[in-house]
A and B are shown apart, each in its own frame.
Chain A
Amino acid sequence: MMDTLLILLLLIDLRLLVTSRLNSAIHWAGAQGLLLGLLALNNAGLHAGFGATLLIALTIGSKGFVFPWLLLRALRSTGGHREVEPYVSANLSLLLGMVLLGISYWLGDRLALPGIEKGSLLVGVAFFSILTGFLLIIARKKAIMQVLGFLVLENGIYLFGTGLAPHTPLFVELAVLLDLLVAVFVMGITLFQITQEFDHMDTDQFHHLKE
């Protein structure tokens, strides 16, 4: 069950690398958040206290519904539903994604973390999410795609967290979640302001601000 969820997370990462429709990308990122919550639920198992269950519900709610809703709202107001020609094309992103997958897999095999059994896919998929997030931020021009890349990166970090769950206290989890919440709120507001000021969200043109 755990393995299947991890593989689905991996496949969603690959899908995000290829897609150029912003609408669909936001939905996939939301699905990834939901899967993360399910994974945390699976990890916690039957002996989940009230606090843990609440936290997981908050995760599912925020990552799966709130953040996508915020971003979709921002998208609707700007009107641009497609990614402009990215720095790294979709095909090349996929190829780079495969290389990053190989690297993450190798890293995952070598990094022995307490609480995670050897041979589990967790560390590999977590690393891959982080690297995919980086690739999305670097390679895409539209600000919304970069926010999505940041979300994927945070998903990867959260995945590490679920793996280390029995060993880290509750408030670390809370801190992570809060940081994410604030970040997305701020980003959502900033996106509104940017669009209002400049009429577009193409970050490639921001270098004109240099003067």
Chain B
Amino acid sequence: MNPGSPLHLLVALLAAPLLGGIIARIKAIAAGRHGAPLRQPYFDLMRLARKGEVRGKGTTILFVAGTLVTLAGALLAIALTPLGRFPALLSFPGDVIAALSVLGLGRFFTIVAAMDTGSSFEGLGASREAFFSALAEPATFIVFAALARATGTVSLSGLLAGLPPAMWHSQAPALFLAAAALLILLLAENSRIPFDDPTTHLELTMIHEVMVLDHSGPGLATVLYGAALKLWLFTSWLAALLVPKTASPWIGTLWTVGTILGVTVLVGITESTMARLRLLRVPQLLLSAAALAAVAFLLVL
């Protein structure tokens, strides 16, 4: 195994909550406040882990299982994703499909955990999450299909780590469109504006927040950490698309981590400047992302 392979998992496990802190800081600066320290999510996680838990009456073991399976799914997906030029910890042809399937497993259990509470609000959020993810999944597949055709492999390690630098000269429009589509999908899957406002507390407008309303203590810490890992996953995919490939793999990894932070800043700026879409317009935006990815595919055909 390549010595750099476990690197991604270690870096992700340590640095994932930082991304949430960066986004919150940028939003605060945009609003004219100083904002919480960048390490605030770590303090939150540690505080929550020390607390006790409150369980809803009438929930079953699936309420708790949901959080654990989602975390496992995000972790497996990160293990399948490369960082920089190093191949991923686990890689085999077709691991794109496996990565999206384990994320789907997490989503299934999140929905089930939300419905387990027997509350109408969590069910509302679960319904929207199920629908929007069903529309986002084909778009993600089309993006990876375009990348697969451009690089000639079907493995994430080949698609993302193996993008030759010459491609940005010859296929620049296609890669740019694919990156734009992937950015929209990142915002969709991680419940960022314009799809969902992670700081709103109006039940009728929440999607992700409402599904995890009744978690507390270590359960909530698991949920937050899982969400942070998922955000890291998608930003690492986007960063791998954007970063120039250098000769030395270690420099390339540093560049990728830098780009991940840069993409996070971009997400923060998007969150601060855009407003949340009407829920009826969300399918349209997801279909537009799929259309952009399909145009990218046609350009590499």
How far is A94 from B295 in the complex, measured between Cα atoms in Å?
Answer: 12
The answer to whether A101 touches B287, judged by C-beta atoms less than 8 angstroms apart, is no
Instruction: Give the contacts of A46-92 with B (CB-CB under 8 A).
Output: 90-91
The answer to whether B291 touches A94, judged by C-beta atoms less than 8 angstroms apart, is yes
Instruction: Give the contacts of A1-20 with B (CB-CB under 8 A).
Output: 3-4, 7, 10-11, 14, 18
**Interface residue B299 (Cβ < 8 Å from any Cβ of A):** yes
**Interface residue A98 (Cβ < 8 Å from any Cβ of B):** yes
* A contacts with B: majority SS: helix
Partner of B291, one of A3, A98, A105: A98
The answer to whether B173 touches A101, judged by C-beta atoms less than 8 angstroms apart, is no
With CB as the reference atom, state the residue of chain B lying closest to A19. B284
**Interface residue A113 (Cβ < 8 Å from any Cβ of B):** no
Partner of B288, one of A7, A10, A18: A18
The answer to whether A7 touches B173, judged by C-beta atoms less than 8 angstroms apart, is yes
How far is A4 from B171 in the complex, measured between Cα atoms in Å?
Answer: 11
**Interface residue B301 (Cβ < 8 Å from any Cβ of A):** yes
Instruction: Give the contacts of A153-176 with B (CB-CB under 8 A).
Output: none
In the bound complex, residues from chain A placing their C-beta under 8 Å from that of B298 are: 101-102, 105
Instruction: Give the contacts of B250-301 with A (CB-CB under 8 A).
Output: 283-284, 287-288, 290-292, 294-295, 298-299, 301
**Interface residue A107 (Cβ < 8 Å from any Cβ of B):** no
B148 to chain A, nearest CB (A): 18
In the bound complex, residues from chain B placing their C-beta under 8 Å from that of A11 are: 292, 295
**Interface residue A95 (Cβ < 8 Å from any Cβ of B):** yes
Partner of B173, one of A3, A14, A18: A3
In the bound complex, residues from chain A placing their C-beta under 8 Å from that of B292 are: 11
How far is A160 from B173 in the complex, measured between Cα atoms in Å?
Answer: 22
How far is A91 from B289 in the complex, measured between Cα atoms in Å?
Answer: 12
Task: Known A-B contacts: A7-B295, A18-B284, A18-B288. Give 4 more (CB < 8 A).
Answer: A14-B291, A94-B287, A98-B290, A98-B294
